[in-house]
Structure 1
């Protein structure tokens, strides 16, 4: 060995422990910062997190903006259960924070004085691999459609973070249904068209259908101010005066996505809607501020759609669950669509999993049920889709037609509840949904009389499967 090479090798061997020590030292400092951040989030003291910042950080970010961000995005997730170091990239230390209701990636860098130079929180994106074994399916793989569906479904269900999938298609007056994976991990039961899933925000189209029904019955008008139907103490808030009923259902009300008092002490992080009551909602509305002028800007709002449900309850004297049953599901013989499970229907309800395939709680809803609280099956949603296309029930047919009328023509185009796409000559009506452990997708083409329904018991988006199948119809 040449002397120069020998010297280089000695230097390398000497430097390696020093480099490792330096890396370990940096991580120890980062670990200490994470301990403090976790402590201050738990104690609800965001001002102390801000105090960890450098002069440069404080010049770029205000204390109020950091406080508001943490209050809205961290407290609602509940307690921090544990944290783990993910690595360092571009001088930024990355950690996974596991909350009761979800996981967050914490990323930050330190200056020479061990003060925060940068700090960010973002949804944790897990590493996704492919399952080594082909998951079970009910797809017979006989027709061209069967094989096209299988290709799209396998791209989804073979991923390590998915569990079960139920697919429904309406075409040429016929229905086709497929199941993939399992209704819960390791039980070996493939979902079928009668398996019950959370449908999340597809519930909003049911709320829109109820509103349209009441409009056609002369009980309410889309141009009515929403304050007409609320208690005087709520209606007194001047911010609410210009909001019309149509603004609530087409996401142009200016109300924020979710009320900012959802992170109260009586609320369950893993089941955040369960204990959010009408009293809390009205308390929020009494002093809330709008994010945009009503009618001018699309801003997706669970708050707005849920309020439609509340107002219809006040008008009718019946609960949201009763209205759905009496006006929509009973007449259409949709016997597996409801808010509350019975002991019998609970046997058909899937377990639900987050985007890391960890089992989580299914959500229960109180006052915000109109925004996302229904459960259903592929078979029921195919009935619902078919009636959107053409219903033999005259009262419901008129209501379905009204929900398809465009009420906001900018991007994205919206009817009542439904989002509307016109990529070419055809018009599509669609909605998706998501909870902590479920995803759903529905797309309807009235001209072609086709529809696609996708239900998953994993919090992993299903839109790409639905759009892909629709392209084949």
Structure 2
């Protein structure tokens, strides 16, 4: 939205497309107001057995098409959460191991200089690889397109050339350093581990998106989506060919809420303390995602891997965890040049928040912080 005026909720014949429960109306409206610069917002909420998906505004400034629950938004680094689940899925199948070093997948001439030991897949998934935030050479490739598509000219071959000349900033496992480079490399390696080397998007669709029923999620920039804005200027669809596992996906509020439901179910099943009433959200259906390979992968994804300084923060596979008296809270955010996204869930009380806006992340983080605060408020119940 512009300024602080509320966005119009999507309507159909003068009526809201989906009735908004009273408990969801105030938090959803507050998040829409916090999305400064956006003309389109979707807020999806879960509170126990109740859910709400609330769309606001239009898919483009001045455009007639209203945002609906089916509108696709770029989700940026939320893609990393899907890459983490794909990693766990391949690990459950026995195709890879979390402790596998890069050298299992890449020839010696491509490997970065070793510092204190080999980098493993788990290091990449927990931001402890020592790799920098961005690959060497990417900034040069981005000249002229930095404010539109900074990754568009950076290919998979560029990724491997960059890796060969990278000098890690720390020994693997020594410290957490957020890295688009690291998780993008992880996505690349996961495709190499599968016979035929399918593209990242195709492999994810086969192993994760299809089984979970996330039909509106994918990495095709040519499919219809909301228009993204950077300081009021429309941005072209996001492209990240060399690092798709770090930020290539588009999704919808309902799809992301379904992912959070599945992860929360897995966390509750793995730790009975996260489901004190002995009830889960019941979203798993009959496709086997609650058991077998994908069910085990969901549980593995949410298992805490690292305890960070301060005593209240943990890392799972990509997911941030905040340990609170009322139970753990999982969260992650994402952004592209034209979109901002948040996803978080609290398995103990079966609450979740998805917040999507078609504007670049703001410096004050008001929209993202508001989404996190909404999750905490719902969590406290």
Asked if TM exceeds 0.5, the reply is yes
1:325–1:218 Cα change, 3 Å: same
- Structure 1 residue 264: deviation in Å? 3.2
Please give the per-residue CA displacement for 1:178-234, whole angstroms capped at 9, x wherever unaligned.
112221101143322110000110100110001101111111111121222112211
- Structure 1 residue 452: deviation in Å? 0.8
1:150–1:443 Cα change, 3 Å: closer
1:173 to 36, 49, 70: 49
Higher radius of gyration, 1 or 2: 1
The within-5 A match list for 1:286-435 is 286-316=164-194, 317-341=197-221, 345-346=223-224, 349-354=225-230, 356-390=231-265, 391=284, 392-393=288-289, 394=291, 395-411=293-309, 412-435=313-336
Distance 2:244 2:218 in 1: 11
Structure 1 spans left out of the alignment, 5+ residues: 1-127
1:283–1:154 Cα change, 3 Å: closer
- Which residue in the other structure is 1:146 paired with? 24
Distance 1:308 1:154 in 2: 34
More helix by share: 1
1:219–1:306 Cα change, 3 Å: same
1:265–1:150 Cα change, 3 Å: closer
Is contact 1:337–1:377 with CA below 8 Å preserved after alignment? Answer: yes
1:454–1:236 Cα change, 3 Å: closer
Residue 202 of structure 1 aligns to a residue in which SS?
helix
- Structure 1 residue 312: deviation in Å? 0.9
Distance 1:141 1:236 in 2: 54
- Structure 1 residue 275: deviation in Å? 2.1
1:150–1:306 Cα change, 3 Å: closer
Distance 1:265 1:137 in 2: 40
Distance 2:142 2:264 in 1: 43
Is contact 2:101–2:118 with CA below 8 Å preserved after alignment? Answer: yes
Residue range with higher mean Cα deviation, 172-181 or 328-337: 172-181
The within-5 A match list for 1:44-443 is 129-131=3-5, 134-138=6-10, 143-157=21-35, 159=36, 161-235=37-111, 237-239=113-115, 241-265=117-141, 268-269=145-146, 270-316=148-194, 317-341=197-221, 345-346=223-224, 349-354=225-230, 356-390=231-265, 391=284, 392-393=288-289, 394=291, 395-411=293-309, 412-443=313-344
1:311–1:173 Cα change, 3 Å: same
Measured on the aligned residues, the alpha-carbon RMSD in Å equals 2.1
- Which residue in the other structure is 1:65 paired with? none
Is contact 1:226–1:244 with CA below 8 Å preserved after alignment? Answer: yes
Please give the per-residue CA displacement for 1:409-461, whole angstroms capped at 9, x wherever unaligned.
11452111111111223111111001111000000111212211011101134
- Which residue in the other structure is 2:371 paired with? 466
What TM-score do you get using the length of structure 1 for normalisation? 0.67
Distance 1:196 1:150 in 2: 18
Structure 2 spans left out of the alignment, 5+ residues: 11-15, 266-283
